[in-house]
Amino acid sequence: MRAKQPLKTCVGIERGEEAYETTARLLDRLDFGVTGKSVLLKPNLTTASSAENGITTDVGVCRAILERLNGCRILIGEGSGGANTGDAFERTGYVDLARRFGAELVNFDEVQVVRKPVPAPLHFKELPFARTVFDVDTLISAAKLKIHSLAQITLTLKNMFGCVPRSEKLRVHPHINKGILDIAQVIYPDFSVVDGIVGNERDEVDSFPVPSGIVLAGEDALSVDLVGCRCMGVDPEEAEHLRRGAELFGPRAIELLGPPISQVARTYSRKRSRRGQWAVRGSRVLGWIR
């Protein structure tokens, strides 16, 4: 049998110290823009913490994205796992951002839930999602460069976990790596941006900030995540959902636009925080119970 040919993709890397300006430069280099469509922008607001703490997507990143949506109906959606979503929108600047661009803020925990079958299940035959995700033409992921206590790393594909309602998240968590890929078979971003101006090592919700000074972007989410993983000094083979993602979605031949990874990579610690250690134990217990 002939081996599957790698998909040729492009991932842009831009260095900078300010989120908005760095993202704007990168998006212009990638010739990014959307015209006349309904667009859902999904940031990572897993808590109400600031972007400078390394936890949430800087509102400046999303501002640069929204400026390049022309004549679009714009929604900004999130289902925070570690905070009240409304509080997270307010405290991280997204209420003001939405007002400025005439966008609608959508709390995924307050909208209708729909269940969708997974084409090639790794664990879940079907999954629940906020219906809003399926009511738009274009889905944009605006993720954060972070280590994750269960999934090793959290970038674009893991960001889609926020589209699962809070009431269902605990069901997915014990099988997070397979869950990420089952989710990706149903909802796969049309464009991805990763805020790495200030990343976070060791954990996804406790602050251990790392000033990486980069923003990543590209049309293929898996490719962006493979690059982002290496920018944290992590071999993608060590992140199960990236390793298996290449098997599920096919290999990637990635062209880098910008500096080489060796010039921007930082070594992020993966030593679990105390909260992270409890998260692993709790996940095992939940998996056993279910």
Tens digit of pLDDT per residue, the chain (290 long)? 345 789 999 999 999 999 999 999 999 999 999 999 999 999 999 999 999 999 999 999 999 999 999 999 999 999 998 889 999 999 999 999 999 999 999 999 999 999 999 999 999 999 999 999 999 999 999 999 999 999 999 999 999 999 998 878 888 888 999 999 999 999 999 999 999 999 999 999 999 999 999 999 999 999 999 999 999 999 999 999 999 999 999 999 999 999 999 999 999 999 987 665 566 556 555 555 55
Domain annotation covers residue 248: yes
Q: Residue 110's domain spans which residues?
A: 7-289
CATH number of domain containing 25 = 3.40.50.11440
- For the chain, how far is it from start to end, CA to CA, in angstroms? 39
Domain annotation covers residue 118: yes
Domain annotation covers residue 139: yes
**What are the structure tokens assigned to 67, written together?**
């400026």
Residues paired with 187 in a beta bridge? none
Domain annotation covers residue 143: yes
The pLDDT score that the predictor gives to residue 108 is 95
Domain annotation covers residue 205: yes
Closest-CA residue to 183 (of 133, 250, 235)? 133
**How many structural domains are present in the chain?**
1
Domain annotation covers residue 1: no
Domain annotation covers residue 134: yes
Domain annotation covers residue 2: no
The pLDDT score that the predictor gives to residue 1 is 38
